[in-house]
C-alpha cells in the first residue's frame, strides 16, 4: 500500500460527538467517501472521453475506408 498523509477537515462539534456516541470510525468513513468520490469522478471523466471518441468515430465513413483498402490491395 502507498504512503499515507494526513488530511484534515472541520466538522461541527455536535456531529463529531454524535458520530463518536454511535461508534462511527470517522477516519474510515471519510476515507471511503473520498475513495468513492475519486472513483466516481474518474468514471465521469472516462465517460466524457468516450463520448468525444464516439463523436469522432461517427464522422468516419466506413464505406470509403473499405473502398480505399480494396483499391490499395488491387494496386490501383
Query: pLDDT (tens digit, 9 = 90+) per residue, 60-74?
Result: 888 888 888 888 888
Helices (H), 1-76: 13-21, 26-58, 62-74
Please determine, for residue 1, whether its predicted confidence score (pLDDT) is greater than 70.
Answer: no
The pTM of this model reads 0.66
**Degrees to nearest 5, angle at CA 67 with 65 and 69:** 70
The whole domain housing 64 covers 25-74
- Residue 43, in any domain of the structure: yes
Please determine, for residue 45, whether its predicted confidence score (pLDDT) is greater than 70.
Answer: yes
Q: How many domains does the chain have?
A: 1
- Per residue in 2-30, pLDDT (tens digit) is 899 999 999 999 999 999 999 999 999 99
- Residue 5, in any domain of the structure: no
- Residue 59, in any domain of the structure: yes
- Residue 61, in any domain of the structure: yes
- Residue 18, in any domain of the structure: no
Amino acid at each position: 500500500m502507498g504512503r499515507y498523509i494526513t488530511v484534515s477537515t472541520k466538522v461541527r462539534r455536535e456531529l463529531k460527538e454524535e458520530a463518536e456516541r454511535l461508534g462511527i470510525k470517522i477516519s474510515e468513513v471519510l476515507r471511503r467517501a473520498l475513495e468513492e468520490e475519486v472513483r466516481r469522478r474518474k468514471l465521469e471523466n472516462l465517460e466524457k472521453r468516450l463520448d468525444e471518441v464516439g463523436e469522432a468515430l461517427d464522422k468516419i465513413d466506413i464505406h470509403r475506408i473499405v473502398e480505399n483498402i480494396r483499391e490499395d490491395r488491387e494496386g490501383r
